[in-house]
Amino acid sequence: MIKVSAPGKIILSGEHAVVYGHPGLYASTSLRMNVELSKSSRKLDLTSYADYAFNKALLSFGVKNSFNYSFKVNSKIPIGSGMGSSASLAVNMSALAQKIAKKEFNLDKINKVAYEIEKKQHGNPSGGDNTIITHGGFVWYRKEAENLKVFSKITPKKNLPNLYIINSGTPKETTGEMVSLVREKYEQSPKRIINILNKIEFCSKEFLKLILDENNTNLGDLITLNQRLLEELGVVSSQTRNLIGLLERKKASVKISGAGGKTYGSGILLVYHKNPDSLINFVKSQKLDMIPVTLGGKGVKIEK
């Protein structure tokens, strides 16, 4: 029996822009997914993403016979809501396969295979999600080219204040569809979109300097700026924009995190408030939950 686990993720700044080679600032969360392997004679169903991911990982680590294994997934990461549930599954499967293949535990190899699995989810991932989920902590990530993805692990120089998550609803669109939507806009009006992506890069760098204690920028202002730019990109539904508007009236700073969604919900929202208790009644009145999120959890690991 082998058990592995990997965290979910938050993008502090840079989603969508990372697909175009801009940097992104990522953090892992304390919410994790466990995958437990057992022996079985079950046939893999490659139309299911979990089985596809497992099979692809086994093949990548040179394991030919995949029919002896089965697995149980147990996850606290909301599915399809921007917290990296699919990347966490890919990373877990990759770590399991590396262990089954009796190879030494190697994060870079786990990450590489997870990236290949992620391509099934959307054709052109930046690779940022699998990287933060593999390595954990805080990561500054940039895809320079398909074969040159660079990242640095960041040690925050000052503690971020408490951040919260509110789920605005599972988006109707997949990450792949949201990435394609931005691509269409990029092709239609490149100048406009390039301008927004450059501003997102500015925002990501200010965020980086903030956590490295190199500027005095206000965290709430950066979150709000990032959110406005994502709205301009068209990845936030009108329903979610309304909800964010109401939260902003209560003096919260809020952004989507991840691919977003344009028809209905836009996934989880990252929320900052100087006095978060003052939001509790409002959030309840909207029949929503606001949960604290601890950032910087450990990356993928083999559980004892």
Q: Give the number of C-alpha atoms closer than 13 A to the C-alpha of residue 187, restricted to the C-beta side.
A: 5
* Residue choice 8, 13, 16, 252 for contact with ligand MEV (CB under 6 A): 16
Q: Is 301 left (phi over 0), alpha (psi -120 to 50) or beta?
A: beta
| Shortest reach from residue 18's CB to ligand MEV, in Å | 5
- Contact (Cβ atoms closer than 8 angstroms) between residue 288 and residue 167: yes
Which residue in 129, 213, 277, 289 is the catalytic one? 129
* Residue choice 37, 63, 88, 129 for contact with ligand MEV (CB under 6 A): 129
For position 211 contacting ligand MEV by CB under 6 A, the verdict is no
108: annotated active-site residue:
no
For position 231 contacting ligand MEV by CB under 6 A, the verdict is no
For position 255 contacting ligand MEV by CB under 6 A, the verdict is no
Cβ count near 250 (within 10 Å):
14
Site string for ligand MEV, 163-192 (x = CB under 6 A): ------------x---x-------------
For the chain, how far is it from start to end, CA to CA, in angstroms? 10
| Shortest reach from residue 229's CB to ligand MEV, in Å | 13
| Shortest reach from residue 113's CB to ligand MEV, in Å | 16
**154 closest CA partner among 141, 138, 132, 131:** 138
- Taking CA atoms, 147 is separated from 112, 137, 144, 179, 258, in Å, by 10, 24, 8, 20, 23
Size of the site for ligand MEV (CB under 6 A): 13
For position 116 contacting ligand MEV by CB under 6 A, the verdict is no
Closer by beta carbon to ligand MEV, 17 or else 283: 17
Q: Give the number of C-alpha atoms closer than 13 A to the C-alpha of residue 21, restricted to the C-beta side.
A: 6
- How far is it, in rounded angstroms, from Cα 207 to Cα 202? 9
Q: Which stretch binds ligand MEV (CB under 6 A): 10-18, 42-50, 67-75, 294-302?
A: 10-18
- Taking CA atoms, 110 is separated from 57, 65, 100, 223, 264, in Å, by 9, 19, 13, 31, 34
* Residue choice 7, 23, 125, 136 for contact with ligand MEV (CB under 6 A): 125
- Give the footprint of ligand MEV on this chain (CB under 6 A): 15-16, 18-19, 82, 125-126, 128-129, 175, 179, 258-259
Catalytic residue ranges: 129
